Amino acid sequence: MAFNSLDNGRIGIGALSTGIAQGALDEALQYAKERYAFGQAIAEFQAIQFKLANMATETDAARLLTLRAAAMKDAGHKQTGFYAAMAKLFASETANRVCADAVQIHGGNGYSRDYAVERMYRDARVTTIYEGTSEIQRIVISREILKKG
């Protein structure tokens, strides 16, 4: 029953983290299209485009890992804990990276409470701690993959 509760919590944190990452990505996209520097929207700069591409890719991967873990939970799969740990680890770490990049895209404005990415950046940090730290998730994952070898 305790492991069942952990699995639920880890999947929930995976979903929360994915939502934070998606919100930060959305804010960064909007800002990059509206903010001008050197006579053009910053979205026109390749460095910003690459950041946005990575942010979108990682956010989608986090979403898919979380959905897989939830589907396995619903199906009563015996390895739900393994997949929940992977989803929680990847999604929470992704939320932190995506939020950091969103703040970077916003520049100095990213630290201002006038912009949502400032709060998202703070909120993302705690997702690597709730329901077991990232290090604990790595232990859960490594134990499971070492069984297969």
So which residues are the catalytic ones? 131
Nearest residue to 102 via CA among 23, 37, 25, 48: 25
Q: Which amino acid is at 63?
A: R
**75 touches 103 (CB < 8 A):** no
CA distance 73 to 58: 23
CA distance 21 to 102: 9
CA distance 100 to 83: 26
CA distance 149 to 25: 38
